[in-house]
């Protein structure tokens, strides 16, 4: 694919830091290499060519990243569409967007079924800069084993397909994160930005792991999931004298509720550990997820400094604001924020029982 001249002129494009530059960061590569699905990135200028492929891509396709770097999408393994419409993966990547279909990849005499997505990453003015492709395995290669193995595979397919729907939503968030964070990879604050990025992706990985561990699951225990996030955040940003007050009830929720709730909790716990207790020897962070006959209240609070005058959370236009809005939209959640300078901050998320329940099969 050849991309024509920028209607805004070359200055804008040349002034936009390359995502490929960000991919030279070892921290950035580590976060991409730990994603539970394959990620491939191409530069669109001057001609489209692959600039990065993560470790899961190498495992899934059997092709080393070095072998595909600098090549067009035709270098990918021949992967026909399962819908038998003569469409191949490489053609679909360029010709379609968002969810682009299900394909069969042949590797080591086995067939692997993958769902695929293709998203264009644009500049702030809407000019296309990069293409980000995700491939997620949705089935196990067919073998000559007994029928009971085939039955177990079919049982898992429902769960795996639900995971792919989540991957689609996560990919949109990850795409936005890459675009926001990669601009400043050379700044002094880049380490903090990528730490936050890793925390967000880590919370998604915990959700993926929670579902994958139970082949029969069609929901997530919100209490268990938030406890795991709290443990990961406290371990990553441990500070002397900071205590976690953790209290959770068992409560099954849908994937669309668990994911944004986990991201909000990760964000707020990280903010508290990094900013709430400056100049103090200690403090308490609270995470409660408590259930009654009306629903569930998730409370994230600290007894630190509180927000500065004129500062609000979530800040409009930031990712946290989009995540909070998804909670309100997907689960009709009520989100209340309280803060007083010198007296800490408290965020309460309330879910009515019906609105957050898992979807019926």
Parse the chain into domains and list their residue ranges.
10-182, 218-356
Class of the CATH-defined domain 218-356: alpha beta
Instruction: Assess whether pLDDT exceeds 50 at residue 161.
Output: yes
Q: Output the average pLDDT for the chain.
A: 75
Instruction: Assess whether pLDDT exceeds 80 at residue 270.
Output: yes
Instruction: Assess whether pLDDT exceeds 80 at residue 263.
Output: yes
Strand partners of residue 43: 49, 130
- CA separation for the pair 183, 209 (Å, rounded): 30
- CA separation for the pair 67, 61 (Å, rounded): 12
Topology at the third CATH level for domain 10-182: Beta-Lactamase (3.30.450)
Local confidence band at 360 (pLDDT 50, 70, 90 cut-offs): low
- CA separation for the pair 218, 159 (Å, rounded): 7
Q: What is the enclosing helix (H) or strand (E) of 319?
A: helix 319-331
User: What digits encode the pLDDT tens for the residues 182-227?
Assistant: 444 555 455 455 565 656 666 666 676 666 555 445 688 999 999 9
Bond from prior residue into 314 cis (ω within 30 degrees of 0): yes
β-strands 283-291, 242-248: how paired?
parallel
Domain 10-182 identical in fold to domain 218-356: no
E strands, the chain, are 38-43, 49-53, 98-107, 110-122, 128-137, 220-221, 242-248, 252-253, 283-291, 295-302, 334-339, 345-352
296-312: average pLDDT: 92
């Amino acid at each position: 694919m050849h991309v024509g001249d920028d209607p805004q002129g070359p200055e804008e494009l040349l002034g936009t830091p390359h995502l490929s530059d960000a991919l030279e960061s070892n921290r950035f590569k580590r976060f991409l290499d730990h994603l539970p699905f394959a990620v491939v990135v191409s530069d669109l200028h001057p001609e489209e060519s692959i600039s990065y492929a993560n470790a899961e891509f190498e495992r899934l396709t059997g092709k080393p990243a070095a072998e595909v770097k600098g090549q067009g999408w035709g270098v990918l393994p021949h992967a026909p569409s399962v819908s038998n419409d003569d469409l191949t993966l490489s053609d679909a990547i360029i010709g379609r967007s968002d969810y682009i279909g299900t394909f069969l990849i042949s590797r080591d005499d086995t067939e692997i079924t993958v769902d695929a997505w293709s998203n264009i990453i644009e500049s702030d003015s809407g000019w296309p800069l990069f293409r980000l492709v995700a491939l997620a395995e949705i089935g196990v290669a067919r073998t000559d084993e007994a029928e009971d193995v085939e039955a177990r595979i079919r049982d898992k397919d429902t769960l795996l397909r639900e995971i792919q729907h989540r991957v689609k939503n996560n990919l949109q968030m990850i795409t936005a994160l890459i675009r926001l964070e990669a601009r400043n990879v050379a700044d002094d604050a880049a380490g903090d930005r990528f730490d936050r990025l890793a925390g967000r992706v880590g919370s998604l990985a915990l959700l993926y792991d929670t579902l994958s561990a139970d082949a029969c699951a069609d929901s997530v225990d919100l209490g268990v999931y938030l406890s795991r996030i709290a443990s990961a955040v406290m371990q990553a940003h441990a500070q002397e004298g900071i205590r976690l007050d953790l209290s959770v009830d068992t409560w099954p929720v849908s994937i669309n509720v668990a994911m944004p709730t986990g991201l909000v909790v990760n964000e707020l716990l990280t903010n508290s550990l990094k900013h709430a207790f400056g100049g103090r020897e200690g403090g308490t962070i609270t995470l409660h997820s408590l259930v009654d006959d009306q629903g569930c209240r998730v409370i994230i609070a600290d007894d630190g400094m509180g927000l500065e005058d004129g500062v609000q959370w979530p800040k409009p236009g930031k990712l946290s604001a989009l995540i909070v809005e998804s909670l309100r939209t997907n689960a009709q959640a009520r989100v209340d924020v309280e803060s007083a300078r010198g007296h800490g901050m408290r965020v309460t998320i309330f879910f009515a029982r019906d609105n957050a329940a898992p979807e019926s099969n």
